[in-house]
Structure formats: C-alpha cells, structure tokens
C-alpha cells in the first residue's frame, strides 16, 4: 500500500476532525453545512476514503479553514515578508 493511503489520508482525516471539533460541530452538522453525508465524512475523517478535491474544498469552506491547512501539517504562524516592513529580502542569519 502507498504511504498516501496508510499515512497521508489518515493525517488529513485527523486534521478535518480536529477542525470540526474546534468548530464545535458534530458529523451531522458538518454534513449539513458541507453537503457531504455523515457516513461519508466518517470515512474521510478516519482516512478510509480517497476524497475528491471538490469534497476537500466543501469541507474546508464549511469549517472556514483553508484547504491547504487540511492537507499538510500547518506551518502555523507563517508571515509574509511585507508584514515585517523590511526590504523584502530574507537575510537569514546574516547581520
């Protein structure tokens, strides 16, 4: 089996579940909001379904999170160079 099926899909499912619980929703409510049935959501959250991109976006929309944040472990607190008011270059360790 591929690492996608054994590792990535389950991880994506966990992120969806975390987001749903953070939003204080049960499967039935997320089903209503996303238009994806509760049984299907259960399979997805448990990493047992290779969902379509449209489903990922519907879920993300219903949970008000970025689809990207459901795909990968969040690099949370990323910041654009602009927000730092600097030259736009990242000087790294240089000083």
Taking CB within 5 to 8 Å according to partner kind, which of a copy of itself, DNA, none is near residue 4?
a copy of itself
Measured CA distances, 1 to 6, 60, 95 (Å): 7, 27, 48
How many Å apart are CA 9 and CA 6, to the nearest integer? 7
The interface with DNA within residues 18-77 (CB under 7 A) comprises 26-28, 35-40, 42-46, 48-52, 54-55
Longest pairwise C-alpha distance within the chain? 55
Which one, 64 or 79, has the nearer CB to a copy of itself? 79
Contacts of 22 (CB under 8 A, 6+ apart): none
The interface with a copy of itself within residues 8-67 (CB under 8 A) comprises 8-9, 12, 50-54, 56-58, 66-67
Q: Which residues bind DNA (CB under 7 A)?
A: 26-28, 35-40, 42-46, 48-52, 54-55
């Amino acid at each position: 089996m591929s690492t996608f099926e054994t590792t990535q899909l389950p991880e994506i499912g966990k992120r969806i579940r975390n987001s749903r619980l953070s939003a204080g929703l049960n499967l039935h409510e997320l089903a209503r909001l996303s238009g994806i049935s509760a049984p299907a959501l259960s399979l997805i959250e448990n990493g047992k379904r290779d969902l379509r991109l449209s489903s990922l976006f519907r879920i993300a929309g219903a949970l008000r999170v970025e689809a990207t944040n459901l795909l990968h472990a969040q690099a949370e607190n990323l910041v654009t160079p602009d927000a730092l008011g600097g030259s736009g270059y990242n000087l790294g360790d240089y000083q």
